[in-house]
Structure 1
Amino acid sequence: MFSFRQLTIYGMVFASVGRKGTLIISAIIYGAGVALQVPAPPAGVFVLGRILLGMGLGLISVTSPMYLVESSRPTTRGRFIALYTQLLTCGNVIACGISLGTRNLAGANSWRVTVGFQLFLALVIFLGALIAPESPVILMKANKHDEARQALASLRNIDPNSEEMTESIDEIARWVQEQSTSGEVHLSECFKGPDLRRQLLGICIAFFTIATGITFWFGSGTTFFEAAGVAPGSRVDQFALVAGAVIFIAAYAPSWGTIGWIVMTEPYSQRLRLLQSTITMVVYWTSTWAVGFITPYMVDATAGDLGVKVCYVWLVMIILSVLWAYFYVPELAGLSVAETDLLFETGIPARKSASWGASLRSNARDIEESTSIVLTVGEKGVKTDEAPYAHT
Protein backbone atom coordinates (compact mmCIF):
# COMPACT_ATOMS: atom_id res chain seq x y z
CA MET A 1 0.00 0.00 0.00
CA PHE A 2 2.94 2.36 0.53
CA SER A 3 3.71 1.85 -3.15
CA PHE A 4 0.17 3.05 -4.01
CA ARG A 5 0.67 6.59 -2.72
CA GLN A 6 4.19 6.67 -4.11
CA LEU A 7 3.06 5.80 -7.62
CA THR A 8 0.34 8.43 -7.79
CA ILE A 9 2.49 11.33 -6.57
CA TYR A 10 6.15 10.69 -7.21
CA GLY A 11 5.60 9.01 -10.59
CA MET A 12 4.85 12.45 -12.05
CA VAL A 13 7.32 14.47 -9.97
CA PHE A 14 10.35 12.34 -10.86
CA ALA A 15 9.69 12.61 -14.59
CA SER A 16 11.83 15.76 -14.54
CA VAL A 17 15.02 13.89 -13.57
CA GLY A 18 14.77 11.25 -16.31
CA ARG A 19 14.80 7.48 -16.10
CA LYS A 20 18.44 7.28 -14.98
CA GLY A 21 18.02 9.86 -12.22
CA THR A 22 14.78 8.26 -11.04
CA LEU A 23 16.41 4.85 -10.69
CA ILE A 24 19.36 6.31 -8.77
CA ILE A 25 17.07 8.17 -6.36
CA SER A 26 14.79 5.13 -6.07
CA ALA A 27 17.72 2.90 -5.08
CA ILE A 28 18.76 5.38 -2.39
CA ILE A 29 15.22 5.59 -0.99
CA TYR A 30 14.86 1.81 -1.18
CA GLY A 31 18.19 1.24 0.60
CA ALA A 32 17.33 3.80 3.29
CA GLY A 33 14.06 2.02 3.96
CA VAL A 34 15.81 -1.31 4.38
CA ALA A 35 18.50 0.20 6.61
CA LEU A 36 15.84 1.57 8.98
CA GLN A 37 14.21 -1.85 9.37
CA VAL A 38 17.24 -4.06 9.93
CA PRO A 39 18.17 -2.80 13.46
CA ALA A 40 14.62 -3.68 14.67
CA PRO A 41 13.95 -0.12 15.89
CA PRO A 42 10.80 1.15 17.63
CA ALA A 43 7.58 0.51 15.74
CA GLY A 44 7.31 4.06 14.37
CA VAL A 45 10.78 3.95 12.83
CA PHE A 46 10.14 0.48 11.42
CA VAL A 47 6.95 1.71 9.75
CA LEU A 48 8.88 4.65 8.29
CA GLY A 49 11.34 2.16 6.84
CA ARG A 50 8.47 0.23 5.26
CA ILE A 51 7.11 3.45 3.76
CA LEU A 52 10.48 4.35 2.23
CA LEU A 53 10.90 0.82 0.89
CA GLY A 54 7.47 1.03 -0.72
CA MET A 55 8.30 4.39 -2.24
CA GLY A 56 11.47 3.05 -3.79
CA LEU A 57 9.74 -0.09 -5.03
CA GLY A 58 6.93 1.94 -6.57
CA LEU A 59 9.33 4.13 -8.52
CA ILE A 60 11.40 1.19 -9.71
CA SER A 61 8.34 -0.79 -10.84
CA VAL A 62 7.20 2.14 -13.03
CA THR A 63 10.57 3.31 -14.33
CA SER A 64 12.27 0.02 -15.22
CA PRO A 65 9.68 -1.21 -17.78
CA MET A 66 9.47 2.26 -19.34
CA TYR A 67 13.25 2.38 -19.73
CA LEU A 68 13.25 -1.03 -21.40
CA VAL A 69 10.45 -0.09 -23.81
CA GLU A 70 12.10 3.19 -24.78
CA SER A 71 15.54 1.66 -25.27
CA SER A 72 14.85 -1.61 -27.10
CA ARG A 73 13.94 -2.59 -30.65
CA PRO A 74 10.35 -3.64 -31.42
CA THR A 75 11.58 -7.20 -32.01
CA THR A 76 13.37 -7.44 -28.64
CA ARG A 77 11.06 -5.32 -26.48
CA GLY A 78 8.97 -8.27 -25.31
CA ARG A 79 12.02 -10.38 -24.55
CA PHE A 80 13.50 -7.72 -22.28
CA ILE A 81 10.23 -7.28 -20.38
CA ALA A 82 9.98 -11.07 -20.07
CA LEU A 83 13.52 -11.20 -18.68
CA TYR A 84 12.61 -8.42 -16.26
CA THR A 85 9.68 -10.45 -14.92
CA GLN A 86 11.80 -13.59 -14.67
CA LEU A 87 14.25 -11.67 -12.51
CA LEU A 88 11.33 -10.65 -10.28
CA THR A 89 10.46 -14.33 -9.91
CA CYS A 90 14.10 -15.13 -9.14
CA GLY A 91 13.92 -12.53 -6.38
CA ASN A 92 10.96 -14.36 -4.84
CA VAL A 93 12.82 -17.66 -4.99
CA ILE A 94 15.95 -16.15 -3.42
CA ALA A 95 13.88 -14.57 -0.63
CA CYS A 96 12.20 -17.92 0.11
CA GLY A 97 15.58 -19.64 0.12
CA ILE A 98 17.07 -17.13 2.55
CA SER A 99 14.03 -17.39 4.82
CA LEU A 100 14.31 -21.17 4.80
CA GLY A 101 18.03 -21.06 5.54
CA THR A 102 17.69 -18.62 8.44
CA ARG A 103 14.57 -20.07 10.07
CA ASN A 104 16.56 -21.63 12.91
CA LEU A 105 18.53 -18.49 13.84
CA ALA A 106 17.85 -17.16 17.29
CA GLY A 107 15.51 -14.23 17.84
CA ALA A 108 15.12 -11.43 15.31
CA ASN A 109 18.13 -12.59 13.30
CA SER A 110 15.85 -15.06 11.50
CA TRP A 111 14.15 -12.16 9.69
CA ARG A 112 16.92 -9.54 9.83
CA VAL A 113 19.04 -11.46 7.33
CA THR A 114 16.17 -11.69 4.86
CA VAL A 115 15.34 -7.99 5.16
CA GLY A 116 19.00 -6.96 5.14
CA PHE A 117 19.68 -8.85 1.90
CA GLN A 118 17.63 -6.18 0.15
CA LEU A 119 20.52 -3.75 0.69
CA PHE A 120 22.46 -5.78 -1.87
CA LEU A 121 19.56 -5.41 -4.34
CA ALA A 122 19.45 -1.66 -3.74
CA LEU A 123 23.19 -1.49 -4.43
CA VAL A 124 22.78 -3.44 -7.69
CA ILE A 125 20.08 -1.02 -8.90
CA PHE A 126 22.13 1.99 -7.84
CA LEU A 127 25.31 0.86 -9.62
CA GLY A 128 23.36 -0.28 -12.67
CA ALA A 129 21.67 3.12 -12.95
CA LEU A 130 25.06 4.87 -12.69
CA ILE A 131 26.50 2.77 -15.52
CA ALA A 132 23.47 2.74 -17.83
CA PRO A 133 22.96 5.67 -20.24
CA GLU A 134 19.92 7.88 -20.01
CA SER A 135 16.86 6.91 -22.04
CA PRO A 136 17.23 8.18 -25.63
CA VAL A 137 13.69 9.55 -25.44
CA ILE A 138 14.54 11.70 -22.43
CA LEU A 139 17.72 12.96 -24.13
CA MET A 140 15.80 13.87 -27.29
CA LYS A 141 13.28 15.80 -25.20
CA ALA A 142 16.20 17.75 -23.71
CA ASN A 143 17.52 18.52 -27.25
CA LYS A 144 20.65 16.43 -26.61
CA HIS A 145 20.57 14.76 -30.00
CA ASP A 146 24.20 13.61 -30.08
CA GLU A 147 23.94 12.09 -26.61
CA ALA A 148 20.67 10.38 -27.60
CA ARG A 149 22.39 8.87 -30.64
CA GLN A 150 25.28 7.59 -28.51
CA ALA A 151 22.92 6.20 -25.86
CA LEU A 152 20.85 4.38 -28.47
CA ALA A 153 24.01 3.01 -30.11
CA SER A 154 25.15 1.65 -26.75
CA LEU A 155 21.77 0.21 -25.73
CA ARG A 156 20.99 -1.44 -29.07
CA ASN A 157 24.59 -2.20 -30.06
CA ILE A 158 24.33 -0.53 -33.46
CA ASP A 159 26.57 1.80 -35.47
CA PRO A 160 25.85 5.48 -34.62
CA ASN A 161 26.07 6.32 -38.33
CA SER A 162 23.97 3.42 -39.63
CA GLU A 163 20.64 3.69 -41.43
CA GLU A 164 18.95 1.85 -38.55
CA MET A 165 20.21 4.51 -36.17
CA THR A 166 18.89 7.31 -38.38
CA GLU A 167 15.46 5.68 -38.62
CA SER A 168 15.31 5.12 -34.84
CA ILE A 169 16.34 8.70 -34.04
CA ASP A 170 13.84 10.07 -36.56
CA GLU A 171 11.06 8.01 -34.97
CA ILE A 172 11.92 9.27 -31.49
CA ALA A 173 12.08 12.84 -32.83
CA ARG A 174 8.56 12.47 -34.21
CA TRP A 175 7.29 11.31 -30.81
CA VAL A 176 8.93 14.27 -29.09
CA GLN A 177 7.58 16.70 -31.68
CA GLU A 178 4.08 15.31 -31.33
CA GLN A 179 4.17 15.71 -27.56
CA SER A 180 5.55 19.27 -27.71
CA THR A 181 2.90 20.42 -30.20
CA SER A 182 0.06 18.80 -28.23
CA GLY A 183 0.77 20.88 -25.15
CA GLU A 184 0.83 19.82 -21.50
CA VAL A 185 -0.20 16.27 -20.62
CA HIS A 186 -3.39 15.94 -18.56
CA LEU A 187 -4.56 12.94 -16.57
CA SER A 188 -7.98 13.01 -18.25
CA GLU A 189 -6.35 12.17 -21.61
CA CYS A 190 -5.72 8.64 -20.34
CA PHE A 191 -9.46 8.00 -20.48
CA LYS A 192 -10.35 9.57 -23.82
CA GLY A 193 -10.43 8.25 -27.39
CA PRO A 194 -8.01 5.45 -28.32
CA ASP A 195 -6.07 6.02 -25.09
CA LEU A 196 -9.06 4.79 -23.07
CA ARG A 197 -8.68 1.37 -24.67
CA ARG A 198 -4.96 1.39 -23.91
CA GLN A 199 -5.58 2.34 -20.28
CA LEU A 200 -8.32 -0.26 -19.76
CA LEU A 201 -5.98 -2.85 -21.26
CA GLY A 202 -3.32 -2.03 -18.68
CA ILE A 203 -5.78 -1.84 -15.77
CA CYS A 204 -7.48 -5.15 -16.57
CA ILE A 205 -4.26 -7.08 -17.15
CA ALA A 206 -2.89 -5.69 -13.86
CA PHE A 207 -6.00 -6.91 -12.04
CA PHE A 208 -6.25 -10.34 -13.66
CA THR A 209 -2.52 -11.00 -13.24
CA ILE A 210 -3.10 -10.96 -9.47
CA ALA A 211 -6.76 -12.06 -9.27
CA THR A 212 -5.96 -15.50 -10.69
CA GLY A 213 -4.62 -16.36 -7.21
CA ILE A 214 -0.84 -16.22 -7.46
CA THR A 215 -0.50 -13.89 -4.47
CA PHE A 216 -2.51 -16.33 -2.34
CA TRP A 217 -0.24 -19.27 -3.13
CA PHE A 218 2.93 -17.26 -2.54
CA GLY A 219 1.71 -15.54 0.62
CA SER A 220 -0.58 -18.07 2.27
CA GLY A 221 0.25 -21.38 0.58
CA THR A 222 2.16 -22.87 3.52
CA THR A 223 -0.49 -22.13 6.17
CA PHE A 224 -3.21 -23.17 3.73
CA PHE A 225 -1.64 -26.59 3.18
CA GLU A 226 -1.20 -27.03 6.93
CA ALA A 227 -4.84 -26.18 7.54
CA ALA A 228 -5.84 -28.64 4.79
CA GLY A 229 -3.96 -31.38 6.66
CA VAL A 230 -1.15 -31.84 4.15
CA ALA A 231 1.71 -33.71 5.86
CA PRO A 232 3.81 -36.85 5.42
CA GLY A 233 1.39 -39.75 5.05
CA SER A 234 -1.44 -37.56 3.76
CA ARG A 235 -4.25 -38.85 1.59
CA VAL A 236 -3.98 -38.86 -2.19
CA ASP A 237 -6.44 -35.97 -2.53
CA GLN A 238 -4.32 -33.83 -0.19
CA PHE A 239 -1.20 -34.45 -2.25
CA ALA A 240 -3.28 -33.70 -5.36
CA LEU A 241 -3.99 -30.28 -3.85
CA VAL A 242 -0.25 -29.59 -3.60
CA ALA A 243 0.36 -30.94 -7.10
CA GLY A 244 -2.38 -28.70 -8.48
CA ALA A 245 -0.84 -25.65 -6.84
CA VAL A 246 2.60 -26.49 -8.24
CA ILE A 247 1.18 -27.00 -11.74
CA PHE A 248 -0.67 -23.68 -11.50
CA ILE A 249 2.45 -21.77 -10.45
CA ALA A 250 4.53 -23.48 -13.17
CA ALA A 251 1.93 -22.54 -15.80
CA TYR A 252 1.51 -19.01 -14.44
CA ALA A 253 5.19 -18.07 -14.60
CA PRO A 254 5.66 -18.19 -18.41
CA SER A 255 2.12 -17.01 -19.19
CA TRP A 256 0.37 -14.40 -17.07
CA GLY A 257 3.41 -13.91 -14.88
CA THR A 258 5.57 -12.92 -17.87
CA ILE A 259 3.24 -11.88 -20.69
CA GLY A 260 1.06 -9.98 -18.24
CA TRP A 261 3.93 -7.59 -17.51
CA ILE A 262 4.64 -7.22 -21.23
CA VAL A 263 1.04 -6.20 -21.86
CA MET A 264 1.18 -3.83 -18.89
CA THR A 265 4.08 -1.92 -20.45
CA GLU A 266 3.66 -2.07 -24.26
CA PRO A 267 0.39 -0.45 -25.37
CA TYR A 268 0.77 3.17 -24.25
CA SER A 269 1.54 6.16 -26.44
CA GLN A 270 4.80 7.97 -25.80
CA ARG A 271 2.88 11.07 -24.74
CA LEU A 272 0.95 9.29 -21.97
CA ARG A 273 3.34 6.45 -21.15
CA LEU A 274 4.33 7.77 -17.71
CA LEU A 275 0.78 8.54 -16.61
CA GLN A 276 -0.77 5.35 -17.94
CA SER A 277 2.04 3.16 -16.60
CA THR A 278 1.59 4.81 -13.21
CA ILE A 279 -2.15 4.16 -13.18
CA THR A 280 -1.58 0.54 -14.21
CA MET A 281 0.98 -0.02 -11.45
CA VAL A 282 -1.38 1.53 -8.90
CA VAL A 283 -4.00 -1.06 -9.89
CA TYR A 284 -1.39 -3.84 -9.82
CA TRP A 285 -0.11 -3.09 -6.32
CA THR A 286 -3.60 -2.38 -4.98
CA SER A 287 -4.78 -5.74 -6.33
CA THR A 288 -1.74 -7.43 -4.80
CA TRP A 289 -2.55 -5.94 -1.41
CA ALA A 290 -6.29 -6.62 -1.64
CA VAL A 291 -5.93 -10.29 -2.61
CA GLY A 292 -3.28 -10.86 0.04
CA PHE A 293 -5.43 -9.18 2.70
CA ILE A 294 -8.86 -10.63 1.87
CA THR A 295 -8.18 -14.26 0.96
CA PRO A 296 -7.01 -15.42 4.42
CA TYR A 297 -10.42 -14.35 5.73
CA MET A 298 -12.13 -16.20 2.89
CA VAL A 299 -10.32 -19.41 3.83
CA ASP A 300 -10.28 -19.19 7.64
CA ALA A 301 -12.83 -21.30 9.52
CA THR A 302 -13.76 -18.34 11.75
CA ALA A 303 -14.65 -16.14 8.78
CA GLY A 304 -15.53 -17.20 5.23
CA ASP A 305 -14.68 -20.86 5.93
CA LEU A 306 -14.16 -21.69 2.25
CA GLY A 307 -11.13 -23.86 2.94
CA VAL A 308 -10.02 -25.69 -0.19
CA LYS A 309 -13.15 -24.41 -1.96
CA VAL A 310 -11.31 -21.12 -2.43
CA CYS A 311 -9.75 -22.82 -5.47
CA TYR A 312 -13.14 -22.48 -7.20
CA VAL A 313 -12.77 -18.71 -6.86
CA TRP A 314 -9.43 -18.86 -8.66
CA LEU A 315 -10.96 -21.12 -11.31
CA VAL A 316 -13.70 -18.57 -12.03
CA MET A 317 -11.15 -15.75 -12.23
CA ILE A 318 -8.97 -17.78 -14.62
CA ILE A 319 -11.96 -18.42 -16.91
CA LEU A 320 -12.87 -14.73 -16.89
CA SER A 321 -9.27 -13.73 -17.60
CA VAL A 322 -9.02 -16.11 -20.57
CA LEU A 323 -12.26 -14.79 -22.09
CA TRP A 324 -11.18 -11.21 -21.54
CA ALA A 325 -7.74 -11.85 -23.09
CA TYR A 326 -9.30 -13.44 -26.19
CA PHE A 327 -11.72 -10.59 -26.85
CA TYR A 328 -9.67 -7.60 -25.65
CA VAL A 329 -5.88 -8.15 -25.79
CA PRO A 330 -4.40 -7.27 -29.23
CA GLU A 331 -1.22 -8.83 -30.62
CA LEU A 332 1.54 -6.23 -30.27
CA ALA A 333 4.59 -8.46 -30.78
CA GLY A 334 6.96 -7.08 -33.41
CA LEU A 335 5.09 -3.79 -33.83
CA SER A 336 7.00 -0.53 -33.62
CA VAL A 337 5.66 2.25 -31.40
CA ALA A 338 4.24 4.00 -34.48
CA GLU A 339 2.52 0.79 -35.62
CA THR A 340 1.12 0.25 -32.12
CA ASP A 341 -0.30 3.77 -32.23
CA LEU A 342 -1.87 3.01 -35.61
CA LEU A 343 -3.49 -0.17 -34.28
CA PHE A 344 -5.27 1.67 -31.48
CA GLU A 345 -6.11 4.77 -33.51
CA THR A 346 -7.77 2.72 -36.26
CA GLY A 347 -9.60 0.55 -33.70
CA ILE A 348 -8.38 -2.84 -34.91
CA PRO A 349 -10.25 -5.55 -32.89
CA ALA A 350 -8.12 -7.82 -30.73
CA ARG A 351 -9.14 -10.95 -32.65
CA LYS A 352 -7.99 -9.41 -35.95
CA SER A 353 -4.83 -7.76 -34.64
CA ALA A 354 -2.49 -10.67 -35.45
CA SER A 355 -3.58 -10.86 -39.10
CA TRP A 356 -3.53 -7.05 -39.32
CA GLY A 357 0.08 -6.96 -38.08
CA ALA A 358 1.06 -9.71 -40.51
CA SER A 359 -0.49 -7.83 -43.46
CA LEU A 360 1.23 -4.64 -42.32
CA ARG A 361 4.62 -6.32 -42.39
CA SER A 362 3.81 -8.02 -45.70
CA ASN A 363 2.90 -4.69 -47.28
CA ALA A 364 6.10 -3.16 -45.94
CA ARG A 365 8.15 -5.95 -47.52
CA ASP A 366 6.30 -5.53 -50.83
CA ILE A 367 7.00 -1.80 -50.85
CA GLU A 368 10.66 -2.41 -50.01
CA GLU A 369 10.98 -4.96 -52.83
CA SER A 370 9.21 -2.66 -55.30
CA THR A 371 11.49 0.21 -54.35
CA SER A 372 14.52 -2.02 -54.81
CA ILE A 373 13.32 -3.09 -58.29
CA VAL A 374 12.66 0.51 -59.35
CA LEU A 375 16.11 1.58 -58.19
CA THR A 376 17.74 -1.34 -60.01
CA VAL A 377 15.88 -0.58 -63.25
CA GLY A 378 16.73 3.09 -62.86
CA GLU A 379 20.41 2.36 -62.51
CA LYS A 380 20.34 0.17 -65.63
CA GLY A 381 18.48 2.87 -67.52
CA VAL A 382 21.11 5.43 -66.67
CA LYS A 383 23.81 3.18 -68.02
CA THR A 384 21.84 2.57 -71.26
CA ASP A 385 21.26 6.29 -71.79
CA GLU A 386 24.92 7.04 -71.27
CA ALA A 387 26.10 4.50 -73.88
CA PRO A 388 25.34 6.56 -77.05
CA TYR A 389 27.18 9.55 -75.65
CA ALA A 390 30.17 7.38 -74.98
CA HIS A 391 30.50 6.68 -78.74
CA THR A 392 30.12 10.27 -79.91
Structure 2
Amino acid sequence: MIWGGLGMFVCEYIVAIIGVCKPDDRTATKAQISFICIYIFFFASTWGPAAWVVIGELFPLTIRSRAVGLSTASNWLWNCIIAVITPYMVDTDKGNLKSKVFFIWGSCCFFCLLYAIILIPETKGLTLEQVDRMLEETTPFTSGKWKPHSTFVADMGKAVHSDSDEKLSKTQSESV
Protein backbone atom coordinates (compact mmCIF):
# COMPACT_ATOMS: atom_id res chain seq x y z
CA MET A 1 0.00 0.00 0.00
CA ILE A 2 2.92 2.34 0.70
CA TRP A 3 4.36 1.80 -2.78
CA GLY A 4 0.96 2.44 -4.34
CA GLY A 5 0.61 5.74 -2.47
CA LEU A 6 4.11 6.76 -3.46
CA GLY A 7 3.44 5.86 -7.10
CA MET A 8 0.22 7.87 -7.08
CA PHE A 9 1.99 10.88 -5.56
CA VAL A 10 4.80 10.76 -8.14
CA CYS A 11 2.39 10.38 -11.08
CA GLU A 12 0.28 13.35 -9.93
CA TYR A 13 3.33 15.59 -9.66
CA ILE A 14 4.73 14.48 -13.02
CA VAL A 15 1.40 15.33 -14.70
CA ALA A 16 1.39 18.75 -13.01
CA ILE A 17 5.01 19.53 -13.91
CA ILE A 18 4.55 18.51 -17.54
CA GLY A 19 1.40 20.62 -17.76
CA VAL A 20 3.15 23.68 -16.35
CA CYS A 21 6.30 23.31 -18.48
CA LYS A 22 4.66 22.40 -21.81
CA PRO A 23 0.99 23.43 -21.62
CA ASP A 24 0.12 23.21 -25.33
CA ASP A 25 2.44 20.44 -26.54
CA ARG A 26 0.67 17.38 -28.02
CA THR A 27 3.48 15.02 -27.02
CA ALA A 28 3.38 16.37 -23.47
CA THR A 29 -0.37 15.80 -23.38
CA LYS A 30 0.16 12.16 -24.40
CA ALA A 31 2.73 11.80 -21.61
CA GLN A 32 0.24 13.28 -19.15
CA ILE A 33 -2.42 10.80 -20.23
CA SER A 34 0.09 7.97 -19.82
CA PHE A 35 0.94 9.03 -16.26
CA ILE A 36 -2.74 9.42 -15.41
CA CYS A 37 -3.24 5.81 -16.58
CA ILE A 38 -0.30 4.70 -14.41
CA TYR A 39 -1.87 6.60 -11.50
CA ILE A 40 -5.14 4.73 -12.08
CA PHE A 41 -3.23 1.43 -12.04
CA PHE A 42 -1.61 2.29 -8.68
CA PHE A 43 -4.92 3.42 -7.21
CA ALA A 44 -6.93 0.46 -8.51
CA SER A 45 -4.39 -2.09 -7.28
CA THR A 46 -3.67 -0.62 -3.83
CA TRP A 47 -5.58 2.27 -2.27
CA GLY A 48 -8.92 1.71 -3.99
CA PRO A 49 -9.66 -1.76 -2.62
CA ALA A 50 -7.46 -1.45 0.50
CA ALA A 51 -9.67 1.24 2.01
CA TRP A 52 -12.58 -1.19 2.15
CA VAL A 53 -10.41 -3.85 3.79
CA VAL A 54 -9.07 -1.40 6.36
CA ILE A 55 -12.48 -0.11 7.45
CA GLY A 56 -13.74 -3.68 7.73
CA GLU A 57 -10.90 -4.72 10.05
CA LEU A 58 -10.01 -1.76 12.22
CA PHE A 59 -13.10 -0.94 14.19
CA PRO A 60 -13.92 -2.83 17.41
CA LEU A 61 -16.49 -5.59 17.00
CA THR A 62 -19.06 -3.74 19.12
CA ILE A 63 -19.28 -0.75 16.75
CA ARG A 64 -18.01 -2.23 13.49
CA SER A 65 -21.28 -2.17 11.53
CA ARG A 66 -22.05 1.47 12.41
CA ALA A 67 -18.45 2.57 11.82
CA VAL A 68 -18.31 0.90 8.40
CA GLY A 69 -21.58 2.60 7.50
CA LEU A 70 -20.25 6.01 8.55
CA SER A 71 -16.97 5.38 6.70
CA THR A 72 -18.86 4.49 3.54
CA ALA A 73 -21.01 7.61 3.84
CA SER A 74 -17.87 9.71 4.34
CA ASN A 75 -16.30 8.15 1.24
CA TRP A 76 -19.35 9.02 -0.86
CA LEU A 77 -19.50 12.55 0.58
CA TRP A 78 -15.86 13.32 -0.25
CA ASN A 79 -16.19 11.80 -3.72
CA CYS A 80 -19.17 14.09 -4.32
CA ILE A 81 -17.31 17.16 -3.03
CA ILE A 82 -14.31 16.45 -5.27
CA ALA A 83 -16.55 15.86 -8.29
CA VAL A 84 -18.35 19.18 -7.67
CA ILE A 85 -15.32 21.41 -7.00
CA THR A 86 -12.90 20.12 -9.63
CA PRO A 87 -14.64 21.74 -12.63
CA TYR A 88 -14.54 25.09 -10.82
CA MET A 89 -10.84 24.63 -10.07
CA VAL A 90 -9.86 23.97 -13.70
CA ASP A 91 -12.41 26.08 -15.60
CA THR A 92 -10.81 29.04 -17.47
CA ASP A 93 -13.32 31.59 -16.13
CA LYS A 94 -13.18 30.30 -12.53
CA GLY A 95 -10.01 28.88 -10.91
CA ASN A 96 -8.11 28.38 -14.17
CA LEU A 97 -5.65 25.96 -12.53
CA LYS A 98 -5.54 23.64 -15.54
CA SER A 99 -2.80 21.04 -14.93
CA LYS A 100 -1.74 22.78 -11.70
CA VAL A 101 -4.70 21.08 -10.02
CA PHE A 102 -2.55 17.94 -10.01
CA PHE A 103 -0.23 19.65 -7.51
CA ILE A 104 -3.21 19.80 -5.15
CA TRP A 105 -4.18 16.17 -5.76
CA GLY A 106 -0.54 15.06 -5.48
CA SER A 107 -0.18 16.89 -2.18
CA CYS A 108 -3.33 15.17 -0.95
CA CYS A 109 -1.76 11.82 -1.95
CA PHE A 110 1.38 12.70 0.00
CA PHE A 111 -0.57 13.57 3.16
CA CYS A 112 -2.68 10.41 2.79
CA LEU A 113 0.54 8.43 2.53
CA LEU A 114 1.85 9.98 5.76
CA TYR A 115 -1.49 9.30 7.42
CA ALA A 116 -1.34 5.64 6.39
CA ILE A 117 2.25 5.19 7.57
CA ILE A 118 1.64 6.78 10.96
CA LEU A 119 -1.97 5.94 11.82
CA ILE A 120 -3.08 2.77 9.97
CA PRO A 121 -2.00 -0.39 11.81
CA GLU A 122 -0.62 -3.51 10.12
CA THR A 123 -3.28 -6.24 10.37
CA LYS A 124 -1.82 -8.82 8.00
CA GLY A 125 -2.42 -12.40 9.15
CA LEU A 126 -4.47 -11.44 12.22
CA THR A 127 -8.02 -12.39 13.09
CA LEU A 128 -10.49 -9.62 13.93
CA GLU A 129 -10.20 -10.49 17.63
CA GLN A 130 -6.40 -10.30 17.44
CA VAL A 131 -6.66 -6.88 15.74
CA ASP A 132 -8.79 -5.68 18.66
CA ARG A 133 -6.22 -6.96 21.15
CA MET A 134 -3.31 -5.49 19.16
CA LEU A 135 -4.94 -2.05 19.15
CA GLU A 136 -5.33 -2.29 22.95
CA GLU A 137 -1.65 -3.14 23.43
CA THR A 138 0.25 -1.11 20.83
CA THR A 139 0.10 1.94 18.60
CA PRO A 140 -0.66 1.82 14.87
CA PHE A 141 2.89 2.98 14.05
CA THR A 142 4.49 0.06 15.93
CA SER A 143 1.81 -2.53 15.10
CA GLY A 144 3.96 -4.29 12.50
CA LYS A 145 6.13 -5.73 15.31
CA TRP A 146 3.20 -6.97 17.41
CA LYS A 147 2.75 -10.74 17.62
CA PRO A 148 -0.42 -12.47 18.84
CA HIS A 149 -0.21 -14.17 22.23
CA SER A 150 -2.49 -17.04 21.25
CA THR A 151 -4.55 -18.37 18.38
CA PHE A 152 -8.26 -17.89 17.88
CA VAL A 153 -8.85 -21.60 18.40
CA ALA A 154 -7.01 -21.55 21.74
CA ASP A 155 -8.95 -18.45 22.84
CA MET A 156 -12.23 -20.23 22.14
CA GLY A 157 -11.13 -23.26 24.19
CA LYS A 158 -11.29 -25.61 21.22
CA ALA A 159 -7.60 -26.44 20.99
CA VAL A 160 -6.88 -30.17 21.08
CA HIS A 161 -3.76 -31.07 23.03
CA SER A 162 -1.97 -34.32 22.46
CA ASP A 163 0.79 -35.91 24.54
CA SER A 164 3.40 -34.78 22.00
CA ASP A 165 2.17 -31.15 22.31
CA GLU A 166 2.56 -31.28 26.09
CA LYS A 167 6.06 -32.80 25.82
CA LEU A 168 7.03 -30.13 23.29
CA SER A 169 5.79 -27.29 25.50
CA LYS A 170 7.60 -28.74 28.56
CA THR A 171 10.82 -29.03 26.54
CA GLN A 172 10.47 -25.45 25.29
CA SER A 173 9.81 -24.07 28.78
CA GLU A 174 12.75 -25.97 30.29
CA SER A 175 15.16 -24.72 27.62
CA VAL A 176 14.23 -21.07 28.32
Q: Give TM-score scaled by structure 2 length.
A: 0.71
Give every structure 1 segment of 4 or more consecutive aligned residues whose post-TM-superposition deviation is greater than 2 Å.
367-373, 375-378
1:319 CA displacement? 0.7
5+ residue gaps, structure 1, are 1-208, 214-227, 379-392
Change (3 A) 1:303 1:336: same
Distance 1:278 1:250 in 2: 27
AA in 2 matched with 1:360: P
Report the residue type matching 2:116 in the other structure.
A
**Counterpart in the other structure of 2:140:** 350
Richer in helix (by share): 1
1:373, CA displacement in angstroms? 3.2
In 2, distance between residues paired with 1:374 and 1:236?
70
The yes-or-no answer on 1:340 pairing with 2:131 is yes
Alpha-carbon distance in structure 2 between the residues aligned to 1:240 and 1:329: 33
Within 2, Cα distance between the matches of 1:255 and 1:326?
14
Q: Which of 148, 154, 171 does residue 360 from structure 1 map onto?
A: 148
**Residue type of the partner of 1:354?**
G
State the alpha-carbon separation in 1 of the partners of residues 65 and 89 from structure 2: 36
Change in 2 beyond 3 A, CA 1:371/1:306: farther
Partner of 1:283: 74
**Cα deviations across residues 270-293 of structure 1 (Å, max 9, x unaligned)?**
211121111111111100100000
User: 2 CA distance for matches of 1:350 and 1:371?
Assistant: 39
Matched, 1:373 2:165: yes
Name the structure, 1 or 2, with higher relative contact order (CA <8 Å, separation 6+). Answer: 2
Q: Pick from 37, 44, 50 the counterpart of residue 246 of structure 1.
A: 37
Residue by residue over 1:103-153, the C-alpha shift from the partner in whole angstroms, topping out at 9 and shown as x without a partner, is: xxxxxxxxxxxxxxxxxxxxxxxxxxxxxxxxxxxxxxxxxxxxxxxxxxx
Separation in 2 of the partners of 1:250 and 1:324? Answer: 21
Q: CA deviation at 1:371?
A: 7.6
Match for 1:352: what amino acid?
T
Aligned residues: 144
How far apart, in 2, do the equivalents of 1:345 and 1:272 lie? 15
Q: CA 1:360–1:371 in 2, change beyond 3 Å: closer, same or farther?
A: farther
Structure 2: which 5+ runs fail to align?
10-22, 171-176
Q: CA offsets per residue over residues 41-68 of structure 1, 9 Å max, x none?
A: xxxxxxxxxxxxxxxxxxxxxxxxxxxx
